[in-house]
Structure 1
């Protein structure tokens, strides 16, 4: 089990009513839901009353009062089952919990933020009972020094991981002192390890671990974080630092070599040189240099791997041996001799510099497009007129009702001769008129409330307006949806349809097109889907075009993906996936280029050779210049048959 403490407001103005607004006001529409006029985005209300209603609805999962049942009440603590959710609180009730906590919190004027919210989440294989969950929540509050404070626990089992929401008041109900929550996440991790031992839950990762003696000890982290200079390089210059390259390519390979009993300096050099890196002395220690870029600042060897130091390695491997003395350095990857130290790949920041310039141009273009999008929305706001119920129609309804009773009085005046009886009947008609007028006023009031609440009669918010523009395949609107989805960092994005895809450059946005034989739709996270017979066959995420492969219409889907890729920037474009998919796609490039205005801008040298773009010798030289090897030496999967490689669709698919 792991604890989760959600990020709070930075101004210290959290409230018990708005405690779980981030979950109670989450979008009911999933990001992968297609946008259509039938399900427009409606911004949820931010009023305290509405939020509290949503809070209660989230806790009890919209259960009716008849579904609520008191399970137990002992020592001022009650457990309530509301629908499928089981809650526990030491307040008078769920409905009054927020008011009670606010009343206590007001007694401490120096506590800026009395609201505390945490989540305990169990692994998928764990199925804790309600008693175990509540015991765990109470134990965690005890470790935080809030065992006597007001709280509300709610168990949710509607996800893969059973989790419990902990809502607590930091202010003590008797002493009015605020609990000190310094280092609370660390204390919760330690409490979770104790609870795993107590209840037999599956041990999870965290700041504390359970050792072989069943003791809770602090976790050791020998891996150092990225150096500040390397982080600045990647953040400001949009380049991959030498540190990140060395860690990604060599850290775990070096760990495997060091763990061997008879490891040698030559094996360590082979791992590093294979990726274009060299281990050298620097002062009293070791550093990792780039062979192809000697002017690039080196990286401390212990930063690449904590055991890659002279003190650690010389005890087992002997005195340090330089790479040139440990074996024979070569760039021929076909050399398999035991003493060969092969230099195959390289660290080249120039490619990233080119990417950074191209991304900068696209970033500026996107900024201009979004400014234009915002300007169009402002024009829509200025030209929008709030619709109103016709006042003449309302006046006509009042006059019609009044004339109805006037007609009744006129009838009484003609038919009744007795003055006293006539006056009595007039009074009865007046009472009926007052009742009817009151009912009509209430009806009109309700109609006006419903009229204002109708989304069709309200000005669209910026997000709802952008979705409407995305429906009409507006490129700037689709890019804005993708930006919002990226900013939210959601895990529940539109699911992938295939691992076979055409990989493009980062943020390579294009508008949604109409392809022959395909239905086009845009999801809420900006993914453009092209469907056929009710199934998504091609999916454009901007930087990746996923293609459904292995079905009867695979060739048509590949052609559709190529038609979309033709309009990308061309900074990067390559096929990725199963060897059969790559082979068939490369075999279709020549056919595709014959019917197009420009050739498909493939950037992978080996795939360009497979697609017949250039003679073998010329492209091989370019490949060797970039990667230090020839494409002939690289492993290449041959298609199963010539028919599979040259399978073409019957029709062309172009936007």
Structure 2
């Protein structure tokens, strides 16, 4: 038996329980029950008198009745202001092939799962689906408690382990065939024992069915079994993965090279959660996706960012060739797919036209007309796409803000885990805690700085407006890379005109004005541990000693702006965003103003006036820039940013990392 948490459109937030109840009770058009079949199902912790209809009388009315009860419970929680999320928790419990669970067994399995997840007293409904090779039960639980009206979340990142152990327990209870998952049932002298095994242990015992293929999701594996040809997740690990690996093997590869290599196969790489996914779009609009790591371990986000730096998205998704769709069509016809050379489709004529004979003038005129129509269609497509992008800008900004917030939260959680591991390793190895703390703060601040710089560049890229001619040319270049013949012809015309104009211009050198990236002050630091003094010394890439972390103090040896900023960032990461600054009056003022610009809180009472003055100066600068931008554009394009947004660094929240710690940075800080 296997169990899986379902996140389908039927269970989406905001839809309530009605769609998912219609789906599992086979009362929706996309899940209709075949004629002559009876549905087995029921409800849990819902009084019978609360429902007007019974399942065997009218499935649709019964589904609506149950959904109404569940929605009323969730709404009561929302009215109290305690919950605004998705109350639906949807689980599928699958039996192995040839196993036919009874209704009582199905309900018993549902109650056992609910009890194990902490939902024993919650309302739920279930139904058996027998229309596949494996009988399975859909269990829908209301996360809101029916009496306390509080939403209960399952243990984060552990519910799949709880569900897998439940399956092993139910297999023993029902006497069913045993399946393999994170938990394995082993026979011993004391009887069957359920034990947790890592993937390495299961691989060693031969319990993993890998056979050198990428690990597929259940949906992809089911599609392969049902349709008889390679799923997208298996296909993308072939030619697209080989081209991507070849691109990574070139000198100094970039994220643009990655996107270009995948685009030849109609594949894009995007960020999702804490990782990366590869996707393709079918002609009917459906999007197929898989983890980037399914191309190989070398294609995971961590491995790619080690080589290429922080992930850079492709930006505006171009029109891509439907290579996987061609593969599907060829597989259906049982012929070898013919993959076009998408990188070189710029031939003016078909190869058959060059047979050695002179071309027909009528044919040439026809082709000229076709090229003109293609250019007109290209311009219309560009106009429509730009209109959509302009209307879509607010949504993109909102999505980017939410994605940035999620990235910061994910990084913060990872850094908390890394700190606990670093401290544990220091205690185990006998290393001083102050050294482990300093190294953790340095690494965490460096990761945070890199994230802030990338997010600032993404915000800037979304806000910058370019001349229409420049946008048109870049759009043409993207289309030409994907093999659009009309775009390639338009680019050739632009270059021809430019060569003609260049002959009549004066001698000179031209180029676009580019604002250089701000230097990452932490990226080039090198940490050296002084075991005798239990200190960590930080040097720059040239070997120059910048500052020393002595535990409760960071002593500066170099007073440059980069050195002070690096020390401030490490102190903020290490001591919860609050610092005290010591030293000469001139240095204390300079470091305080720099800390304010970075969003770091200075707690010295005698420096409060300098803090207030610098904050006022920042507000004045933002107002001035906003006024200038409004004067230039007339549309308020220079809306002032909040201080922490303008600096690229969110204001550190005191007491989140270490509530009672402070830094004293001697000889400077």
Instruction: Name the TM-score, length of structure 2 as normaliser.
Output: 0.31
Higher relative contact order (CA 8 A, sep 6+): 1
Instruction: Tell me which structure has the larger Cα radius of gyration.
Output: 1
Q: Which structure shows the higher helix fraction?
A: 2
